[in-house]
Amino acid sequence: MSTRMGVDKSLLPVCGVPMIQLVADKVRLMGDEIIITSNDPAKYTHINARIVPDEYKNFGALAGLHAGLKAAINDLVIVVATDMPFINLELFAFMKERMEPEVDVVIPLSNEGFEPFHAIYRKSTCLPAIENAILHKKKRIISWFEMVKVVTIDTETILKIDPDELAFYNINTPEDRLLAEKILLEKTPSKLNKFD
């Protein structure tokens, strides 16, 4: 909802590119469809993506996760937040290797806790679990995890792949945005490829 930023941060430019475009361009390298969940789809018509609104109102991020999974064509769905400019493709590749047939969610477990917006979900099993959580008026993004098989990526492993600890960096304030721009501008082309 961009309350700390004061404006819609998804359209805020980072190094001259709207944040949501920056994230979409990175995610595009990992799959064959891009879905943006938004209750104001007119804002994103300039982005080559499917825009889907929440089916359930007043369930926050959980409703967005539900809408995205329900709209997905593929069974394996990568979910990222619009305010995370340093999503790590190498980490996602490692996570995808852990997505065995019996696994429903592969998610990093950082020092801050679960990272649900840098995770991989199996639509066929996660969607019914999320719908059940919503039916029972649960709103926490991970309130349904006990109903599925979750594999976590531990902090030690995360640090080996993401030593700069930027994968989960999210932009909430103008200061966060300035720091993200500084980091992006300081990266050499070879290092920046880590995120592109």
pLDDT confidence tier of residue 190, bands split at 50, 70 and 90: very low
How far apart (Å, rounded) are the C-alpha atoms in residues 64 and 79? 10
pLDDT in tens, 58-113: 999 999 999 999 999 999 999 999 999 999 999 999 999 999 999 999 999 999 99
pLDDT confidence tier of residue 45, bands split at 50, 70 and 90: confident
Q: pTM to 2 decimals?
A: 0.89
Q: What is the mean pLDDT of the chain?
A: 90
50-52 vs 76-80, strand pairing mode: unpaired
Q: Kindly tell me the burial class for residue 187, based on how many C-beta atoms sit within 10 Å of its own C-beta (0-12, 13-18, 19 or more).
A: middle
Residue 195 has pLDDT above 70, yes or no: no
pLDDT confidence tier of residue 41, bands split at 50, 70 and 90: confident
Confidence at residue 5, expressed as pLDDT on a 0 to 100 scale: 56
How far apart (Å, rounded) are the C-alpha atoms in residues 185 and 25? 18
How far apart (Å, rounded) are the C-alpha atoms in residues 147 and 53? 25
How far apart (Å, rounded) are the C-alpha atoms in residues 165 and 147? 30
The class that CATH gives domain 9-192 is alpha beta
* Matching residue, tokens 């098989």: 149
118-122 vs 105-110, strand pairing mode: antiparallel
* Matching residue, tokens 């992006």: 184
pLDDT in tens, 104-150: 999 999 999 999 999 999 999 999 999 999 999 999 999 999 999 99
Cα of 147 vs its chain's centroid, Å = 21
Output 5 or 190, whichever has higher pLDDT.
5
Confidence at residue 110, expressed as pLDDT on a 0 to 100 scale: 93
Q: What is the residue extent of each domain of the chain? A: 9-192
Two tokens, residue 183: 């980091």
How far apart (Å, rounded) are the C-alpha atoms in residues 136 and 125? 17
List, as one string, the DSSP characters of 79-144. Answer: EE-TT-TT--HHHHHHHHHT--TT--EEEEEETTEE-TTEEEEEHHHHHHHHHHHHHTT--STTTT
